[in-house]
Amino acid sequence: MTTTFSPAPHGLAATLPAGLPYGRTLAALTLTAVLVSGQLYIVIPLLHDMAAGWGVSAGGLTWLVTAFGIGYGAGFLIFGPLSDRYGRRRMLMIGLPLAALTSAAVALSPNPEVALALRAVQGLAVAMFPPAALAYLAERVEPRRRVGAIAAITGAFLASAVLLQVAAQLLVDVIGWRGLFLLSAAGFVLAFLGVRAVTLPDLPRAGGGSPLSVYRAVPGLLFHRVLGLRYVATVMLMAGFVAVYTGLQIYGVSSSSELLALRAAGLPSIVLVPLLMPWLARIHAPIRAAAFLAAGALALAAVGLTGTAVLVLLLAAYVAAITGGLPSLNEAISADAGPARGTALSLFSFALAVGGSVGPQLAAAFGGFTPLLYGLAIGMALAALATLLSGVFHRVATDR
């Protein structure tokens, strides 16, 4: 089957209602994004408490992270295409209550085996949110605000890695690990009410063919010579982000207090970069993405030459490059996906999940923090070149 991709015509993406509550919509989706993505990381500070309660080793319970990641990644591939068929809001309204139920179920787990299965189901349910939310913003937000909105959501996904781990560490002694999962469930209920209040009804969609027909676009999107290069760059970008912080942990670069400062160093960038994106949006998305990737490569190379004092600033610059690069790649993918936008963005989210899973293995493979940084810098530079090349391919295809 041949799939044709073109920028979305005057149709779904052009239907921009004047009454869209932009501020409230962005606030609701951003806060929900923190809660959603944070479920991957929330269990990390809880491992010792869970192990003590069940009388098992904490090391064996790391599979609770992996199980969630598997369900999360699989969910992107399942539910992104379905949002193209059945609507973005509908998927959000189904996914958030299911996320609440599965989070509460994890809290009631009687043993690690049940918890492992429930974490996979939780990941699957939570995965309904990212592709549907990103596609909703791409369709409903006017172009001048769109890149800033998407930057806020992708920034929230990154910030959750720090925020949810810190919150879990502070609260576990107060309410226990089961209480934290119940608190997450309550958060998903509130998220459902908030998102339902601010999102607009779904736009009319073509309903022909079987439900499985929505998946026919996946191979064409994944192996398309323009979008495929951008997916590869997305994997590299996220793998580098996770690998850097994993490397800080496993190679003992800093003391525990310094490590906390290094983790927190990126938060200002995650907050500030989305505010700059409306001005940066005047730069063509693939070029902007390549520039951020190149800046990240330079920051990593510079980190390898410095001490801890400058490390904080350089890591902040690196996180700024990641925070700007993710929405730029997202926009570049969305713009060239045509009517299969939800499917294309589900593959973008899947690429993020793959990168997050590969990152720890990359960190361990290099055997030291400095070699890791140089290796990642080379990878980021190659990702920048791939993104630029995708733009060339797009122009060639457009000129034909």
Residue-wise pLDDT for 333-360, tens only, equals 888 877 777 788 788 888 888 887 777 7
Which pLDDT band, with edges at 50, 70 and 90, does 16 fall under? very low
In single-letter form, the type of residue at position 125 comes to A
For the chain, the domains span: 21-203, 215-400
The answer on pLDDT for 52 being more than 90 is no
| pLDDT at residue 38 tops 50 | yes
Which tens digits make up the pLDDT trace of 118-158?
Answer: 999 999 999 999 889 988 888 888 877 887 888 888 888 88
pTM for this predicted structure: 0.74
Q: Closest Cα to residue 105, out of 95, 115, 120?
A: 115
The backbone region for 87, taken as left when phi is positive above 0, alpha when psi lies in -120 to 50, beta otherwise, is left
Burial of 174 (0-12, 13-18, 19+ CB in 10 A): exposed
Give ∠ CA 293-225-205 in degrees, rounded to 5.
100
Closest by CA to 315, choosing from 269, 272, 360, 274, is: 269
Q: Between 310 and 38, name the one with better pLDDT.
A: 38
For 215-400, CATH gives: 1.20.1250.20
pLDDT greater than 80 at residue 290: yes
21-203 and 215-400: same fold?
yes
Whether the predicted pLDDT of 65 surpasses 70 = yes
What's the mean pLDDT in 161-182? 87
For residue range 373-400, list pLDDT tens digits in order. 999 999 999 999 999 999 888 787 776 6
The predicted-structure confidence for 200-219, as pLDDT tens digits, reads as follows 888 776 655 566 666 777 78
Q: Return mean pLDDT, the chain.
A: 82
Number of helical (H) and strand (E) elements in the chain, helices listed first = 15, 0
pLDDT at residue 253, as a whole number? 61
CB 265 within 8 A of CB 319: yes
Which is nearest to 53 in space by CA: 111, 113, 118? 111
Cβ proximity of 233 and 362 under 8 Å: no
Q: In the predicted model, what is the mean pLDDT of residues 257-275?
A: 75
Give the model's confidence band at 255: pLDDT under 50 very low, under 70 low, under 90 confident, else very high: low
Residue 265 pLDDT > 80: no
> Does residue 292 have a pLDDT over 90?
yes
Classified as helix, coil or strand, 156 is: helix
| Contact (Cβ atoms closer than 8 angstroms) between residue 104 and residue 85 | no
Q: Find out if CATH 1.20.1250.20 is the number for domain 21-203.
A: yes
CA distance 155 to 153: 5
Question: For the chain, what percent of residues have pLDDT higher than 90?
Answer: 30
CA distance 376 to 53: 39
How far apart, in whole angstroms, are the C-alpha atoms of residue 327 and residue 270? 12
- Lowest mean pLDDT across 16-20, 73-77, 141-145, 265-269: 16-20
Letter for the amino acid at 307?
A: G
Q: What's the rounded Cα separation, in Å, for the pair 126 and 131?
A: 11
Q: Minimum mean pLDDT among 21-25, 196-200, 290-294, 296-300: which range?
A: 21-25
Q: What is the largest CA-CA distance in the chain?
A: 65
Task: Categorize the per-residue pLDDT at 297 as very low, low, confident or very high, splitting at 50, 70 and 90.
Answer: very high
